[in-house]
Chains A and B, each alone.
Chain A
């Protein structure tokens, strides 16, 4: 075969195109794309959920495409008729946006084997919750010998200059604001008392992180010693040797449901359903509850154990006493106004 410059060029371009658009080269087998969250969530889903799904569907193809909720919404919105994602995963705020913008398909509840076993808070025909994320107090046990017990402890004078919070861009920051508002007589509809409380916290605040992930760095660098924090994020930090501990405050830990949704107009509704069924099953949720994943289950058939039983709740009945679920429908109504207000008022 003669190698001309032209033929070399053609092959090079073809190779490049295959790299850029992998869809060209792959056979058009039926497969689904699951947009999970990045980091430890992806790891957990790849290790536990995907094998369970493949077993249930006799090795159907699945692609994990980890991305933020907002990116999922953006991608599906951009191609509604032929969405690049088949199953979405959302925190409560973005979930309502996705449902509101008509991007999701209602979950076929009647066909589901596990839906009825979910605790009431996790049941939602627009998309059931496959796990809870919980927010409580995190602190550095090397610096703070007596574990904090209440959100109120953040205002203690001995923590002056050592408190970290996040701004309202995150679910965590927003949930925290609502919770301290509630402590001071407010609610999801009225966070005025919460803003006043943060105002009073200002002298203690050492850092306002722009995202929850940054709190980890700040703990590690000794910039902060106490802050509101996500249970799962803390476990990752602990595993990496950072001196942090998590406690659920006596006012109850804040719980967010993370919901899973079939994307409207997906070409593989049955496979999407199979994936969600696997995610709801007690087998998968039970395995994900164990170390190192420590993901809080929503299926009542899962017996709580390990670190979760110790720190968060003994069983699903206990969850109701230990967790507070916030009304994100109400929160979403005013969230942009709060973010604006936070921008304006909270300058440390």
Chain B
């Protein structure tokens, strides 16, 4: 979340005598809390900082010192994230399982195979389903949170955070107990006489989407709460004083102002749902194949590392593409929100 720190620094520098770059009024800080949405915000001042270092040495030392603080994390990422990633890319270019010669065979194998593409498509779509469900259920929750009294807020935030305090394995096993043939839902429906024989809920796509949505819910609700609490309540009052109904106020005032939160929440939920290997395998079972399992199968069972590496790279690029599109939509709507 380095995005949080950088723009603020830019803002404070404005106050420290460099105000001629930006008028104080132009500090649009609120949106910058969401790193991906705020990119436009922090790249601009950073560029100016760089340009100004040569001109005014005293300020430059301060800036340099601050950048130095980022070194431990930067080095950590370089060593433990970027280096393995490059190694992975390197492996993906081997043409055969024994890794003796190079070629684009693995990529061709994946991209020309309708089955593999279907798995990729199903995985990306799964993320959309989970994200949509999270948004649908999470928004009302966040909305209520901002409108209840202090102690009720405490209870609500506890409910939202509770899943984060238990391991994802435990949460997933709870869903096995809920969805099983003798699980809570089936027992209840049987006892009420609504069904004659247990429904098949576990190991179905529907069951998995619901379980994933619950597991990833905090990632959606927390950014939404942040966005909603930052809206000035006077705006809604003003809107209704001017004659707008509840819905009109919601769609014209609240929703546009919450957009950054929605975008941040959706991105987090989407990325997490796609790669939720544990929940996907435990609640989805062995007959539904998604990218994480496909990858695991190739790497682990078949020892086909080049293909597994190629799969993970294609997956990475596909997810990045989806997120970029989403981010672009976000930027467009942000303009709408600021209009």
Contacts and interface: CB of A to CB of B under 8 A. Distances in A.
Most chain A C-beta atoms within 10 Å of own C-beta, residue among B181, B182, B183: B181
A169 B297 contact: yes
Contacts of B284: 210
Contact of A344 (B115, B202, B285, B299): B115
18 contacts: A70-B299, A70-B303, A73-B303, A166-B286, A207-B202, A208-B285, A208-B287, A209-B286, A210-B282, A210-B284, A211-B286, A221-B176, A221-B180, A221-B182, A336-B302, A336-B304, A343-B289, A347-B288
Contacts of B173: 217
A74 to B, nearest CB: 8
Contact of B285 (A161, A207, A336): A207
Contact of B286 (A68, A73, A167, A344): A167
A214 B203 CA distance: 12
B287 A348 contact: yes
A206 B200 contact: yes
Nearest to B300: A70
Interface in A162-179: 166-169
Contact of A222 (B182, B203, B285, B294): B182
Interface string A205-225: 011111100100100011100
B286 A169 contact: yes
Nearest to A97: B303
A223 B289 contact: no
A344 B294 CA distance: 12
A292 B176 CA distance: 29
A335 interface: yes
B202 A223 contact: yes
Contacts of A13: none
A214 to B, nearest CB: 7
A139 to B, nearest CB: 15
Given A336-B304, A344-B115, A206 B286 contact: no
B153 interface: no
Nearest to B114: A344
B293 interface: yes
A12 interface: no
B300 A169 contact: yes
B304 A346 contact: no
B180 A222 contact: yes
B281 interface: yes
Given A208-B285, A208-B286, A223-B181, 18 more contacts: A73-B303, A168-B301, A169-B286, A169-B300, A206-B181, A207-B285, A208-B203, A210-B282, A210-B286, A214-B286, A221-B177, A222-B181, A223-B182, A223-B203, A343-B289, A343-B294, A343-B297, A348-B287
Nearest to B287: A208
Interface in B277-317: 281-282, 284-289, 293-294, 296-297, 299-304
Interface in A137-166: 161, 166
Contacts of A347: 287-288
B115 A343 contact: yes
A70 B299 CA distance: 9
A120 interface: no
B303 A210 contact: no
Contacts of A339: 297, 301-302
Contacts of B296: 169
What 6 pairs across the A-B complex have the smallest Cβ distances?
A222-B182, A167-B286, A221-B180, A210-B286, A208-B287, A208-B286
A211 B286 CA distance: 8
Interface in A307-348: 335-336, 339-340, 343-344, 346-348
B293 A210 contact: yes
A74 B203 CA distance: 31
Interface residues of A, number: 29
A343 B296 CA distance: 13
Given A223-B202, A339-B301, A167 B287 contact: yes
B176 A217 contact: yes
Contact of B183 (A161, A207, A211, A221): A221
A13 B204 CA distance: 49
Nearest to A217: B176
A217 B287 CA distance: 17
Contacts of A348: 203, 287
B140 to A, nearest CB: 31
Contacts of B294: 343
Most chain A C-beta atoms within 10 Å of own C-beta, residue among B176, B200, B301: B301
B183 A346 contact: no
Interface string A253-265: 0000000000000
Contacts of B293: 210
A169 B301 contact: yes
Contacts of A336: 302, 304
Interface string A171-215: 000000000000000000000000000000000001111110010
A210 B277 CA distance: 11
A166 B301 CA distance: 14
Contacts of A335: 302
A255 B54 CA distance: 75
A168 B286 CA distance: 9
Interface string B146-186: 00000000000000000000000000010011001111000
Contacts of A214: 281-282, 285-286
A243 to B, nearest CB: 12
Contacts of A169: 286, 296-297, 300-301
A69 to B, nearest CB: 9
Given A167-B286, A221-B177, A161 B200 contact: yes
B62 to A, nearest CB: 22
A207 B183 CA distance: 15
Contacts of B115: 340, 343-344
A340 to B, nearest CB: 8
A70 B301 contact: yes
Interface in A100-146: none
Most chain B C-beta atoms within 10 Å of own C-beta, residue among A166, A167, A210, A348: A210
A187 B284 CA distance: 31
Most chain A C-beta atoms within 10 Å of own C-beta, residue among B177, B294, B300: B300
A316 B300 CA distance: 34
